[in-house]
Amino acid sequence: MSDEEDDIILSELNDEELVQQMFDDLYDGLKEEIEEAVNILLERKWEPYRILTEALVGGMTIVGADFRDGILFVPEVLLAANAMKGGMFILKPLLAETGAPRMGKMVIGTVKGDIHDIGKNLVSMMMEGAGFEVVDLGINNAVDAYIDAIKAEEADILGMSALLTTTMPYMKVVIDTMVEMGIRDDYVVLVGGAPLNEEFGKAIGADSYCRDAAVAVETAKEYMARKHNQLAAG
């Protein structure tokens, strides 16, 4: 970042300039600046949900697009996510108080034998940013953990993540168990992780393979819209 940009005083920017600056700061992974800007917008009486969607999710969407296009790489995305997390930490309690819209509920976790959670954590955060309630089961989840959680939480969506070729087949174990129990069609099953692909997602009986967090959010929204339309029609 140049010296000129270092001199920017966030509180002196108007709303539009400040949101643009937040996009830049998210892109550069500047957590403290994002936290400061979120507080400034709150002081200016912005609704927490508006800050979340217009400034934070808006900025992360740019990061996600540049990641997909090979302009940004994993370290930069992680720094951006960390900055967004700082903003989310401030907003989260306020979102609950102000009755932000709820898109649906997702249970998410990394599969048994796998301890990798970077992708899963990104998806969790972006899903929360998009208005989903997320129950994160963490890493190394056996089939029972998933099944118990989707039932107890009355989830709409089950998300499973794996980074290893050796652990990704476990997703099929979970889906097959859901089929055996007769509950497969009660949930939307989304899968993701570096070694996965579209064909794998289809082969194991998932509803969709999501190549990154932004795709996961869009896919989840589509399924929820479809579900609402079906309910309305029924």
- 20-49 residues near other proteins, rule: CB under 8 A: none
Tell me: does residue 67 bind other proteins (CB under 8 A): no
- 71-100 residues near other proteins, rule: CB under 8 A: 73-76, 78-79, 82
Q: How far apart are CA 45 and CA 65, in angstroms?
A: 30
Among 133, 194, 205, 212, binds other proteins (CB under 8 A): 194
Q: What do you get for the CA distance between the two ends of the chain, in Å?
A: 55
Tell me: does residue 128 bind other proteins (CB under 8 A): no
Among 11, 98, 165, 229, binds other proteins (CB under 8 A): 165
Q: How far apart are CA 195 and CA 171, in angstroms?
A: 13
Quick one: 25 or 116, whose CB is closer to other proteins? 116
Quick one: 94 or 164, whose CB is closer to other proteins? 164
**H-only helix segments in 57-195:** 58-68, 74-97, 118-129, 143-152, 170-180
Q: Based on the number of CB atoms within 10 Å of its own CB, is 33 exposed (0-12), middle (13-18) or buried (19 or more)? A: buried
Stretch that binds other proteins, among 46-54, 99-107, 108-116, 170-178 (CB under 8 A): 108-116
Tell me: does residue 195 bind other proteins (CB under 8 A): yes
Tell me: does residue 212 bind other proteins (CB under 8 A): no
The answer to whether the CB of 136 falls within 8 A of the CB of 109 is yes
Query: Which residues, including other chains, have CB under 8 Å from residue 32's CB and lie 6 or more apart?
Result: 86
Strands 208-209 and 188-192: parallel
Tell me the angle at which helices 74-97 and 31-43 cross, rounded to the nearest 10 degrees.
30
Q: How far apart are CA 216 and CA 191, in angstroms?
A: 9
Q: Which two tokens stand for residue 186?
A: 């009660």
Quick one: 79 or 106, whose CB is closer to other proteins? 79
Tell me: does residue 196 bind other proteins (CB under 8 A): yes
Stretch that binds other proteins, among 68-76, 99-107, 171-179, 180-188 (CB under 8 A): 68-76
Among 13, 90, 94, 139, binds other proteins (CB under 8 A): 139
Q: To the nearest whole angstrom, how small is the minimum distance from the Cβ of residue 122 to other proteins?
A: 10
Q: Which residues bind other proteins (CB under 8 A)?
A: 73-76, 78-79, 82, 113-118, 139-140, 164-166, 168, 194-197, 200
